[in-house]
Structure 1
């Protein structure tokens, strides 16, 4: 037709395709299915770990602690000590240290538990100093239209003691499973490493697995040594603070601080609460009772923000948010033992992630 524009090769003009319609979807259907399957797999794994806690917790604890103690077994092997004998000696030494620490704590705990009614009345009398602030708060609530009831201080009932001890202490079967698995794991760790590495057919996969295992053993062994040294120092400093301020049973409080400091975030907070309660009961005035907790808080602040980062260094440094989320998750899943395992498990996960998913993309420039 006249006036119609012809394209080369005799083809008539066609409208330009809609570019928006031809763009691929941001997330394809197969990717959505894969994400859903991975989510369902994670839910099944978490459910299994929660329901079978009596089995998986001792096994996981033995694997993590055994990996931490494997360098010590290798050190004893250099002096011609069989690895099985070295495993028994290491576990016996660690158990003896744990029993010694628990023994320091058990005696004053039993003594104080027999005086709970008397100590409760003393603590309640000390809390009368807060009656005036509570009355002012009640007046403020009534002015704002809140319920016209006076808030009073009530001591918690003693019924929580036995359930708490049952929750914190594992059963005999779990403890026996942990000890047996720990000894066998340390004794056979070298054979397990070799079998795991040789399970892969390609040389590249074997080398990657070897690097992962070496780095996990190195990092967990260094983590245990550094953290144990720091926590023992914290316990000694806490005992000295309690002795200088006149707190009762300073050695027991120092041992308790050492044990609780293995649990990040929660441990120091719990130790501060224990010192507050002991100080309020042991001293006639509130200011004297809060002196030791204040000094402990200052000491743990310096340890957590300056000493530990300087000693641990960048190689074992982990993001604080990641540590907190891992602590919350494993504490919810497995209780206090899960809180102890949260940081080592996070270190293992980060090492595996770095080797399996290396970051090859260019980094952003610094600000």
Structure 2
């Protein structure tokens, strides 16, 4: 009688010893070490996200300063070519950024403060304008009654304004975060060359140093081009929105144009929020709803042209950003850090793509085509 090798191994195995796994080498699967590695990586990601969420007051201004400082580093290098010391260039750049931000805030805040003092009056005006929808709501309720559904819609009521204070707290960072951002930005721009040199020299291997230098150079160039391109596009969107608001006789067209340019830094969410603001302001300011929607519809056309033709044509030549990746990054960073996280979503995605291209090049081993 012939004895199989597996039976021979079982017969010769000492008593109490663990039996060998005959499928461990013949059947494909995930080994225990790989499961442990995946679990540890997942736990590490969860811990990092939790820390970033809980310590938002520290990490948000610091990361924002690092990203914006990297974007503005080419400007500091340009000033350095004119024999301007790096520290002086950092002060000039940060002062220019602060002056530009203060100018935009001034344009936006003046009408915002005026409207905030008239909230009850504006709410009553909006409620009167929206009586047009009383009849459709009544027909909807009758339809629900005919099909036996529960009444989910009642007569229109203006929402209470208890959400105003939490919303402002969510949108506006604190003074400490502003101070931490500008201080970190100033020190980062002033010492970026030394930091980059120290980071490169920290590696002993020549090839690793060269790869790190290429990564840092590409991140600096791409983020600088991204900031310059997006800023020019947003200025164009803000200018066009201001002109449209002036033509349609909207109140404070300069402030609305500045608000459109500012919100356009946040992909997807910014244009949608601007459209809603124009609808609300137009409905309140004009005697008819049709007249109030003119500026909002014109802005929708501007945003459509910018989002589907201008930005893809200009930025798409430099970076091929997948639409799904942009949307998921926007959703994640907005959930994590609010509107400022939405602003950082595209630059951080660009950094991730650059790291992926250098650390996982196209000539690395790939799966066979399915």
Normalising by structure 2, we get a TM-score of: 0.92
Deviation per CA, 1:124-157: give whole Å up to 9, x if none.
0111111111111101111121124752222222
Compared with structure 1, are the counterparts of its residues 32 and 85 closer, same or farther at alpha carbon in structure 2 (3 Å cutoff)? same
Aligned to 1:185: 188
114-123 or 261-270, which moves further after superposition? Answer: 114-123
Deviation per CA, 1:288-333: give whole Å up to 9, x if none.
1111111110110011000111111332231111111111111111
Aligned to 1:294: 297
Aligned to 2:134: 131
Normalising by structure 1, we get a TM-score of: 0.92
Give how far 1:24 is off: 3.6
Aligned to 1:324: 327
Is 1:26 equivalent to 2:29 in the alignment? yes
Alpha carbons 1:223, 1:316 under 8 Å: kept: no
Aligned to 2:65: 62
Is 1:96 equivalent to 2:99 in the alignment? yes
CA distance in 2, matches of 1:202, 1:362: 26
Q: How does 1:222-301 map to 2 (within 5 A)?
A: 222-301=225-304
Match of residue 78, structure 1, among 60, 63, 81: 81
Other structure's SS at 2:181 match:
helix
Compared with structure 1, are the counterparts of its residues 21 and 309 closer, same or farther at alpha carbon in structure 2 (3 Å cutoff)? closer
Compared with structure 1, are the counterparts of its residues 254 and 30 closer, same or farther at alpha carbon in structure 2 (3 Å cutoff)? same
CA distance in 1, matches of 2:340, 2:225: 20
Deviation per CA, 1:188-222: give whole Å up to 9, x if none.
00000000000001011101101110110011000
CA distance in 2, matches of 1:154, 1:260: 29
Deviation per CA, 1:67-106: give whole Å up to 9, x if none.
0000000000000100000000001001101100110111
Question: Which aligned runs of 4 or more in structure 1 are off by greater than 4 angstroms?
Answer: 12-17, 19-22, 361-365
Other structure's SS at 1:188 match:
helix
Match of residue 213, structure 2, among 210, 214, 219: 210
CA distance in 2, matches of 1:316, 1:252: 32
Other structure's SS at 2:318 match:
coil
Aligned to 2:338: 335
Other structure's SS at 1:134 match:
helix
CA distance in 1, matches of 2:229, 2:338: 24
CA distance in 2, matches of 1:24, 1:176: 59
User: Gapped runs of 5+ residues in structure 2?
Assistant: 8-21
Is 1:197 equivalent to 2:200 in the alignment? yes
Compared with structure 1, are the counterparts of its residues 15 and 150 closer, same or farther at alpha carbon in structure 2 (3 Å cutoff)? closer
Give how far 1:182 is off: 0.3
CA distance in 2, matches of 1:267, 1:303: 13
Match of residue 51, structure 1, among 51, 54, 61: 54
Compared with structure 1, are the counterparts of its residues 149 and 351 closer, same or farther at alpha carbon in structure 2 (3 Å cutoff)? closer
281-290 or 312-321, which moves further after superposition? Answer: 312-321
Other structure's SS at 2:179 match:
helix
Aligned to 1:8: none
Aligned to 2:361: 358
Other structure's SS at 2:338 match:
helix
Other structure's SS at 1:152 match:
coil
Other structure's SS at 1:155 match:
coil
Number of residue pairs matched by the alignment: 355
138-147 or 82-91, which moves further after superposition? Answer: 138-147
Aligned to 2:170: 167
Other structure's SS at 2:92 match:
helix
